[in-house]
Copies of this chain bind each other. A is one copy, B any other.
Amino acid sequence: MQGQSQQQAYDRGITIFSPDGRLYQVEYAREAVKRGTASIGIRADDGVVLAVDKRIRSPLMERSSVEKLHKADDHIGIASAGHVADARQLIDFARRNAQINQLRFGEPIGVETLTKDVTDHIQQYTQIGGARPFGVALIIGGIDADGEPRLFETDPSGTPYEWKALAVGADRGDVRDYLEENYDEGIDLDEAVGLALKALGSVNDDALRPEAVGLATVGVDDREFSQLTDDEIEDSLVDLDLLADENAVDGDETTDDATEE
């Protein structure tokens, strides 16, 4: 509906509105998110689960260096997708804000409060000139002071959304379709872990290798962010009949110089 030559006029230099009210730099940053592999968040009655695709580009790379699962505070975890270096900036920003909140008010920061601190920070980079937007989406999940599990998304425009279950990154559409079809209100954390793995499997030929998956949960009981070990993930994959052949290579290797995950 909008010719290519006209579009070009609005995507150079600072972030400005196009004649139909769009911010192209923000939309392109959203493409950077899609260049990363998928990350998934699911809210259960008794906690939240974050699952990420940890495919690597060489067997010599340490999978632990694929930073897609982050602990923001004891009770809050973050999964990211998109430009890695940008994600690190936002994670650091989130951690600092969580600490400051603890120091200032003597209590853990709320999940929504933290999310909105982050999105307000992101918005600045879309309105004030001299910088580009952040090319990353975050899934922020945790337990509020009242014991309620919460699950939020931040996007490159700086908009906060709350979800029952969501996916960001590559195959976002397919994973969300899977989640919309299979998510049930009232599931518990174990079921949520299974759903997350199955959703991830749905875009990986239903076969996952434990070390290529990252999984973390925050339960309402202990309110502790905890990552699952490869063995725990393998057990789950076996249960779900999703375990990939040991010799399989990473499903769809990213290119050599990718800076998105």
Contacts and interface: CB of A to CB of B under 8 A. Distances in A.
A231 interface: no
Contacts of A26: 259
A11 B21 contact: no
A142 to B, nearest CB: 15
Interface of A is mostly: mixed
Given A8-B9, A123-B88, A132 B17 contact: yes
Interface in A71-125: 83-86, 88-89, 92, 116, 119-120, 122-123, 125
Given A60-B163, A86-B127, A161-B61, A21 B17 contact: no
Interface residues of A, number: 84
Contact of A257 (B27, B61, B89): B27
Given A8-B6, A62-B162, A88-B120, A133 B17 contact: yes
A253 to B, nearest CB: 12
Contact of A16 (B13, B18, B20): B13
A103 to B, nearest CB: 19
A159 B12 contact: no
Contacts of A130: 14, 128-130
Given A58-B180, A127-B86, A65 B17 contact: no
A256 B30 CA distance: 11
Interface string A157-186: 111111111100000110010011001000
Q: Give the copy number.
A: 7
B22 A11 contact: no
Interface of A: 4, 6-35, 58-62, 64-65, 67, 83-86, 88-89, 92, 116, 119-120, 122-123, 125-135, 152, 155, 157-166, 172-173, 176, 179-180, 183, 256-257, 259-260
Given A11-B18, A61-B161, 16 more contacts: A12-B13, A12-B16, A13-B16, A17-B25, A17-B28, A17-B132, A17-B135, A19-B28, A23-B83, A23-B132, A58-B166, A59-B180, A61-B164, A85-B158, A86-B127, A88-B120
24 contacts: A7-B19, A9-B12, A11-B17, A12-B12, A13-B16, A16-B28, A17-B25, A17-B132, A20-B31, A23-B32, A23-B83, A61-B161, A61-B164, A61-B166, A62-B161, A62-B162, A62-B163, A65-B160, A85-B122, A85-B123, A86-B123, A89-B120, A125-B127, A128-B130
